[in-house]
Amino acid sequence: AQSVTQLGSHVSVSEGALVLLRCNYSSSVPPYLFWYVQYPNQGLQLLLKYTTGATLVKGINGFEAEFKKSETSFHLTKPSAHMSDAAEYFCAVTYNTNAGKSTFGDGTTLTVKP
């Protein structure tokens, strides 16, 4: 069964510092990969996705992620954190079967310190 592991349920960075949120998946077949962001009391919003093609993908709000097949990873980065980036982030995988249902990681809460 497919699974997603997000390393670190809480990550804290200073404003202006690098943001790195880790995501690994377990599958012999490369999935489609996604990062979502959730602000308090809201639904999830798609940040970026990898389906095919270039392995470095750029998303909204200055975030990007790189698909590394050899490491089965899809880590999310942002060069310089902003206070408004404080939120919960979810990594998800989807395969082109079963109506494309996604499996989500447990989430990482990002705190940005002034």
Under the binding rule (CB under 8 A), the answer on residue 107 touching another protein is yes
Under the binding rule (CB under 8 A), the answer on residue 60 touching another protein is no
* Residue from 51, 55, 80, 111 in contact with another protein (CB under 8 A): 51
Output 22 or 104, the one with its CB closest to another protein. Answer: 104
> Is there a contact between 46 and 104 (Cβ–Cβ < 8 Å)?
no
Binding to another protein by CB under 8 A, coded x per residue (else -) over 11-50, reads ---------------------x-x-x----xxxxxx--x-
Q: CA 101, 103, 108 angle in degrees (round to 5)?
A: 140
CB neighbour list of residue 44: distance below 8 Å, 6 or more residues apart: 36, 37, 38, 90
CA dist 106 and 51 (Å) reads 21
Return residues touching another protein (CB under 8 A): 9, 32, 34, 36, 41-46, 49, 51, 90, 92, 94, 96, 98-102, 104-107
